[in-house]
Amino acid sequence: MRAVVVDKFGDESVLNVKEIAAPKPGPSQILVSVKAAGINPVDTYIRSGNYLPSRLPKLPYTPGGDVCGVIEAVGENVGSEFKVGDKVYSLLITASGAYAEKATVEETFTVKLHQGLSFEEGSALGVPYFTAFRALRTIGQAVKGEKVLVHGASGGVGQEIACIQIGKHLGLEVIGTAGSENGAALVEAQGVTCYRHDDPDYLQKMKTAEGGFDLIVEMLANKNLENDLTMLNVGSGRVMIVGCRGEITINPRLLMGPETQIRGIGLTDEAMLETIKCLDEMASKNLVKPILGKSYSLDEAKTAHAEIINNSYGSSYGKNFFKIDN
Amino acid sequence: MRAVVVDKFGDESVLNVKEIAAPKPGPSQILVSVKAAGINPVDTYIRSGNYLPSRLPKLPYTPGGDVCGVIEAVGENVGSEFKVGDKVYSLLITASGAYAEKATVEETFTVKLHQGLSFEEGSALGVPYFTAFRALRTIGQAVKGEKVLVHGASGGVGQEIACIQIGKHLGLEVIGTAGSENGAALVEAQGVTCYRHDDPDYLQKMKTAEGGFDLIVEMLANKNLENDLTMLNVGSGRVMIVGCRGEITINPRLLMGPETQIRGIGLTDEAMLETIKCLDEMASKNLVKPILGKSYSLDEAKTAHAEIINNSYGSSYGKNFFKIDN
């Protein structure tokens, strides 16, 4: 089969397509014929080698955690829920790597594709919706009625729209920002008030109109963290670091008086059941609706990785993915 | 009576001693003849006017939240636990201001001075032990057996020793750093391993010997925060911002992979009962032992405020206080 293979950690030039043997499913695994694979910033962090050592795969490896496709075979211990021919997607992680024509997924990390969603939409769910749920609920501990700012809500990595949709489902009051007219339209189409962060006065306008926030989901901490700390409610306020592209200078005293918090969101916890339950509930109300961005072939992997990091905030929007002819 | 009076917010030059009328206790208040008053960094933040607007006193005001002295009168609704002649200290806050010959304290914020402690030691308990308890337990949520680094453990504002003593009382494994031989000796005298943060290799030495920390109590976030983020345990790790003297550049991505947190500690919550209970328990085991630093007269208030901010980390140690002849 054809797959993207990384032989050494480094910049996007290490992403090369090769012909390799198709993976075989272990006893608890499912073999998926891949129709689409999501492209996530975390894939680039891992590829660079600059990530938690315990989470770096052994070389060589095939990147990607989000696949969507059709079950081609199931391991001997896989439950009867999953059958050959079923449409499924992976939540967060695959066993063999998503950027390939075939991939194996542990049953635990496999979810049946909800009715009405395309393969491409299915490939846009895993990391983005898991991360959004984790930021809002698992680590963010948001409770019904809290006021949430999704900062960079139109950004192109998929977490943004997932945050809005899950936030509304959880009964949170969600406000967004976007960096373009298209982006703002996208956010507003979700039924959410949107401020334009390309307006130099947007912070003051937002503070005046909205007051403080209980929770800010931050997609670009290196740009916004210091400002975020000035917009949090005393006592309850917390910034969730979901995206970051570099350093920022902050005054930590901003956290002291109001006793606010900054919490990092990674992919540490693989306990998925809560996220899957939330997604199933949302799907039953037709509330899971990822917004698709740009489509790539596997041969365009280098470009895809460069663009997810450089263009993922502000002017672009929608979730990028590989489309695979299978 | 003589008292330090601030007529306008500003630098330490606004601290002037005046002859003013002694305060009268309200129905739920206690009038204390002040023997000693603690000097805390938060007093300087409030004096500067650069603090939470809701926590700024009306001008003119007398600074200080920590007094220790003898009860001179009690309001009509004060419980029979407190009698004229009792030795008491205030936890965190007074009604009329601590830098004075007499001060009123709400009964809720009044604690009987534990046996064996001097007035000066009593004035060293309020803000430091409250803050330390809050950093470790109330906001830090440390649980028995967790590994805690008190960064700047010999510093001169009193929280440092309080953190060590309360940490040990709570069953935490406490490690300290200090910036001088004297400081290290002070920390080690508490039965705690101490690293010298004036040694350029101390971070590497500490990481090698200790592994990661679940909780870091940070007394100088503007210097150490970025390093702290590299020393936290995955998942459980959190830095508590107790002290900060300016800005620092950090890479927020350091929080993402390991899902760690930064939490600010202020004096937001006035629910004192848990702290008082902890202090009473510790006192019964003779574990409350503040380390005294420099003594000032009220006339030296300007110097006292300059020194608490400039010399409070590293080379100096012990808790500074006003000694008042009464």
CB contact under 8 A, B254 and A264: yes
**Res B156: pLDDT:** 62
- Cβ atoms of A132 and A275 within 8 Å: the answer is no
Statement: residue A153 has pLDDT above 80: no
**At A33, which helix (H) or strand (E)?**
strand A29-38
Pick B259's closest partner by Cβ from A54, A139, A225.
Answer: A139
Residue B42's domain comprises 2-125+291-323
Task: Give chain A's mean pLDDT.
Answer: 92
CB contact under 8 A, B248 and A244: no
Spatial distance between the Cα atoms of B19 and B299, rounded to a whole number of angstroms:
12
What residues form DSSP beta bridges with B295?
Answer: B321
Q: Give me the CATH number covering residue B186.
A: 3.40.50.720
CB contact under 8 A, A264 and B248: no
Does B135 lie in the same domain as B234? yes
Range among A80-94, B39-53, B260-274, B308-322 rated most confident: A80-94
Pick A265's closest partner by Cβ from B54, B259, B265.
Answer: B259
Q: What is the pLDDT of residues A202-212, one digit of tens each?
A: 999 999 999 99
CB contact under 8 A, A256 and B264: yes
Of A82-96, A100-114, A177-191, B131-145, the one with minimum mean pLDDT is: A177-191
CB contact under 8 A, A257 and B221: no
Q: How many CB atoms lie within 10 A of CB B138?
A: 17
In a domain, B283, yes or no: no
Phi, psi dihedrals of residue A167, rounded to the nearest 5°: -55, -45
| Residue B326 pLDDT level (bands cut at 50, 70, 90) | confident
Site from B141, B220, B229, B262 to mutate, A interface, most A CB atoms within 10 angstroms: B262
In a domain, B48, yes or no: yes
Q: Average pLDDT of A88-102?
A: 96
The interface predicted TM-score of the complex, written ipTM, equals 0.86
Q: What is the pLDDT of residues A208-261, one digit of tens each?
A: 999 999 999 999 899 999 999 999 999 999 999 998 889 999 999 999 989 999
Of residues B293 and B264, more confidently modeled: B264
Q: Average pLDDT of A83-100?
A: 96
Return the structure tokens found at A242. 């979901």
Chain B: closest CA distance from residue A255 (Å): 4
Statement: residue A314 has pLDDT above 50: no
Q: Average pLDDT of B40-45?
A: 92
Residue of B nearest to A263 (CA): B261
CB contact under 8 A, B253 and A235: no
Does B297 lie in the same domain as B205? no
- In percent, the amount of chain B with pLDDT more than 90 equals 75
Chain A: closest CA distance from residue B43 (Å): 12
**Paired sense of beta strands A147-151 and A87-90, if any:** unpaired
CB contact under 8 A, B257 and A266: yes
**Res B52: pLDDT:** 82
Q: What is the biggest distance separating any 2 CA atoms in chain B, rounded to whole angstroms? A: 60
Does A24 lie in the same domain as A139? no
Does B77 lie in the same domain as B38? yes
Q: What is the DSSP letter of A46?
A: H
**Res B234: pLDDT:** 92
Does A305 lie in the same domain as A216? no
In a domain, A170, yes or no: yes
Does B179 lie in the same domain as B74? no
**Res B171: pLDDT:** 96
In a domain, A61, yes or no: yes
Q: What is the pLDDT of residues B19-37, one digit of tens each?
A: 999 999 999 999 999 999 9
In a domain, A284, yes or no: no
Does B84 lie in the same domain as B41? yes
CB contact under 8 A, A55 and B258: no
CB contact under 8 A, A264 and B256: yes
| Residue B267 pLDDT level (bands cut at 50, 70, 90) | confident
Q: Give me the CATH number covering residue B85.
A: 3.90.180.10
| Residue A158 pLDDT level (bands cut at 50, 70, 90) | confident
Q: Average pLDDT of A120-147?
A: 95
| CA angle in degrees (0–180, nearest 5) for A109-A263-A92 | 15
Residue of A nearest to B230 (CA): A52
Spatial distance between the Cα atoms of A176 and A8, rounded to a whole number of angstroms:
39
CB contact under 8 A, A266 and B258: yes
Does A134 lie in the same domain as A94? no
Residue of B nearest to A235 (CA): B268
**Res B90: pLDDT:** 96
Statement: residue A156 has pLDDT above 50: yes
Statement: residue B58 has pLDDT above 90: yes
Statement: residue A145 has pLDDT above 70: yes
CB contact under 8 A, B256 and A244: yes
Statement: residue B155 has pLDDT above 80: no
**Res A299: pLDDT:** 97
**Res A208: pLDDT:** 95
In a domain, A20, yes or no: yes
Does A132 lie in the same domain as A114? no
Of residues B315 and A292, more confidently modeled: A292
| Residue B197 pLDDT level (bands cut at 50, 70, 90) | confident
Chain B: closest CA distance from residue A74 (Å): 32
Does B297 lie in the same domain as B259? no
| Residue B314 pLDDT level (bands cut at 50, 70, 90) | very low
User: What is the count of structural domains for chain B?
Assistant: 2
Q: What is the pLDDT of residues B87-121, one digit of tens each?
A: 999 999 999 999 999 999 999 999 999 999 999 99
Q: How many CB atoms lie within 10 A of CB B325?
A: 9
Spatial distance between the Cα atoms of B89 and B119, rounded to a whole number of angstroms:
8
Statement: residue A105 has pLDDT above 90: yes
Site from A131, A262, A265, A267 to mutate, B interface, most B CB atoms within 10 angstroms: A262
Chain B environment of A269 (Cβ under 8 Å): 235, 259
Q: What is the pLDDT of residues A27-78, one digit of tens each?
A: 999 999 999 999 998 999 999 998 888 889 999 999 999 999 999 999 999 9
Pick A249's closest partner by Cβ from B234, B247, B265.
Answer: B247
Chain A environment of B54 (Cβ under 8 Å): 234
In a domain, A252, yes or no: yes
Does A136 lie in the same domain as A93? no
Does B7 lie in the same domain as B95? yes
In a domain, A279, yes or no: no
